[in-house]
Chains A and B, each alone.
Chain A
């Protein structure tokens, strides 16, 4: 194989390019891909053939690097569906490659269209791109673990991503939350919990066919909770998406599809994915937080970048105002740099709540919610 540092070898997904069009077009595409120096990759499949394919592609890349060539790789092994590079989920592939060729370096590049809100196959017409890049060592002295190397690389890319957003026009932190009071009359109106009956006509208007099939497969006693989990996830994601500039028409619940198993919500018109987590669930309430971008939602090992609280609203308080006041207090309590909630204020921008400090809008992805007896609020600290 021909080696040159100037034009890197690329590693496109085999199925995305090599079967385009009829036989003639396929041959042309394959020839062009060869000219453009592509090593086809199979990202999916755990069968023997797929694993062997990946291993061969890996060996080709290593060979190229050893002979002074360069290879272009998407470190996240696929396109991010949220428009956010998640540093806390590193893949070992690049770490393994670096250990094979310790002298090689990583040229880390974060490239994104100025108005690119989410992942697309094509950039929008006339789009301008902003790029941040840095060159780092492949293997540091003493490094022997591929995961550690990948983590270092992913952290560098995360830094570049932060720099990109610092200079960009879009808010970085996009989060949302939603609370549902399960004991409220309104929540129960369409469910007869004693008889385990459901007003399916009403439920149907909030769910996609996939969600509906999942709900119908649940035990009758669970349907009520599962439905409100779907609902809370949709509402929280709606807020996170709106912060990024992706508005979903109010009440268009069918545009958001929840996967409770994967804890993801897909914005169907764009394919954009929001991560969700259920936090304070009990017999009284369901609370969901959602993160589109800006930080990590958290898992068993990492606490995540969203702070939230669910409170009971005092009987004499207006839920909306209470949520706002408590949210300001919560933010002030959570930071050593904010002396008191009085230095903060809520503002509105295109119908989205924003926090002001010293006259400047803070990129904190703040979100408010209330339902029945409860008020909930969240913000992001990344």
Chain B
């Protein structure tokens, strides 16, 4: 087999025998080959996003599964016994068993956007002991995305600022209008970041949409059940089979919808609370955004 990841000999470690800091170092080292921004990788810590080129390691989405698999290859866990989730034999959860290969199940890594959040995921799933002092230093997924959006916005504004001085006449007028719109948008976002309650309210809209989608789907499943109940007495096997297929499809969608809802719920909840480390990151990006807005104003925006 020529796959390079299988050629590499990796020493596996029991997650219960190492500190979160050590696990974090190993996770960062494990993703080096996928980093397209090596400078950011070189100074990566618990809160460096895997994705993104500005402050992130620059890992591409096609390598996201590689991050999870890299973590799985490096660590051993006691959570190795697969237990079917009640009512649906295709879903499993992991419970204590013999020390063995770490397995991160589908969707469990949805919030693991940084090495620190990967460690949090391992702790939340019981693969390693909870370590509150470590978790206090980890920026939540909600703030990783909020701060990341700020950096991307700042980068877009900086790019326009770099060009606007080169234009004259009608072109300059249009470029300044664009700059002005971006500066206003940036200012509004900077104000949003300043207020955790406002940020939480903005994120709650996404949660509300996802919740409405989930509830609607749950009602759709009830309708399918109603139809099945009606058809069972009609002796129409083809129609029953079709409805069974529809029921399975809606159940899959419901499971996916629940997974999506968990992400937006976590984001909505965490956006309203702000730890000191999150506050520091927010202040840093707010400062940059405010500087860019001032610079834009000096260009007539």
Bound Cα distance A377, B264 (Å): 29
Q: Mark A246-290, 1 if CB is under 8 A from B, else 0.
A: 011111111100000000000011110000000000000000000
Q: A187-B62, A255-B259 are in contact. Are A348 and B230 (CB under 8 A)?
A: no
Interface flag for B83 (CB, 8 Å) = no
CB B49 to nearest CB in A, in angstroms, measures: 10
A115: CB under 8 A from chain B? Answer: yes
Closest Cβ–Cβ distance, residue A282 to chain B (whole Å): 19
Contact of A359 among B106, B177, B219 (CB under 8 A): B177
Which B residues touch A120, using CB under 8 A? 213, 216, 220
Taking a contact as CB atoms closer than 8 A, the residue among B110, B160, B174, B233 that contacts A251 in the complex is B110
Residue B109 lies at the interface, judged by CB distance under 8 Å to chain A: yes
Q: If the complex has contacts A115-B209, A187-B62, are A345 and B230 also in contact, measured as CB distance less than 8 A?
A: no
B229–A22 contact, CB under 8 A?
yes
Residues B230 and A22 in contact, CB atoms below 8 Å apart: yes
Secondary structure at chain B's binding surface: helix, strand, loop or mixed?
A: helix
Chain B residue nearest in CB terms to A192: B2
Q: What residues on A are CB-neighbors of B66 within 8 Å?
A: 189, 202
Interface centre among B66, B256, B264 (most CB of A within 10 A): B256
Beta-carbon contact of B3 and A345 below 8 Å: no
Q: Which of A25, A189, A255 contacts B3 (CB 8 A)?
A: A189
Known: A22-B229, A186-B60, A251-B110. A358 touches B174 (CB 8 A): yes
Contact B260 A249 (CB under 8 A): yes
Known: A21-B230, A192-B2. A347 touches B65 (CB 8 A): no
Given A121-B220, A342-B163, A348-B156, A250 contacting B230 (CB threshold 8 A): no
- Whether A271 touches B226, Cβ cut-off 8 Å, given contacts A251-B110, A255-B260, A347-B185, is no
A199 touches B3 (CB 8 A): yes
CB of B281 to closest CB in A, whole Å: 17
Closest CB in chain A relative to B31 CB, distance in Å: 13
> A48: CB under 8 A from chain B?
no
Closest CB of chain A to B91's CB: distance in Å? 12
Residues of A within 8 A of B230 (CB): 19-22, 25-26
A14 to chain B, nearest CB (A): 11
Q: Is B40 an interface residue (CB 8 A)?
A: no
In Å, the complex CA distance between A26 and B3 comes to: 59
Instruction: Say yes or no for A373: interface residue by CB 8 A criterion.
Output: no
Interface residue tally for chain A (C-beta within 8 Å): 68
B257 at the interface (CB under 8 A from A): yes
Partner of B212, one of A21, A125, A186, A350: A125
- Minimum CB–CB distance from B53 to chain A (whole Å) comes to 6
Residue numbers in A under 8 Å from B206 (CB-CB):
247
**Residue in chain A with minimal CB distance to B252:** A268
How far, in Å, is A19 (CB) from chain B's closest CB? 4
Smallest CB–CB gap between B219 and chain A, Å?
Answer: 5
Q: Is the CB of B178 within 8 A of A250?
A: no
CA distance A344 to B174 in the complex (A): 8
Kindly provide the distance from the CB of B229 to the nearest chain A CB, expressed in whole angstroms.
6
Q: Report the separation of the CA atoms of residues A20 and B226 in the bound assembly, to the nearest whole angstrom.
A: 5
* A348 neighbours in B (Cβ, 8 Å): 149, 152-153, 156
Decide: A250 near B182, CB < 8 A? Known: A22-B233, A342-B163, A346-B156: no
Tell whether A78 is near chain B: CB-to-CB under 8 Å.
no
Q: CB distance A21 to B226 under 8 Å?
A: yes
CB of B65 within 8 A of CB of A205, answer yes
Are B3 and A269 interface neighbours, CB within 8 A?
A: no
> Is A216 an interface residue, CB under 8 A from the partner?
no
Mind listing 30 A-B residue pairs with CB under 8 Å? A15-B227, A19-B230, A20-B223, A20-B226, A22-B233, A115-B209, A120-B216, A121-B223, A124-B216, A125-B215, A190-B3, A201-B69, A205-B69, A250-B51, A252-B110, A253-B65, A254-B106, A255-B256, A268-B253, A269-B213, A269-B217, A270-B257, A271-B253, A342-B163, A342-B175, A343-B170, A344-B178, A345-B156, A345-B159, A347-B156
Leading 7 A-B pairs by shortest Cβ distance:
A359-B177, A19-B230, A251-B64, A343-B174, A359-B181, A269-B257, A345-B178
Residues on A close to B: CB < 8 A? 15-16, 19-23, 25-26, 115, 117, 120-122, 124-125, 180, 186-187, 189-190, 192, 194-195, 197, 199, 201-202, 205-206, 231, 235, 245, 247-255, 268-271, 320-321, 324, 339-340, 342-351, 356-361, 371
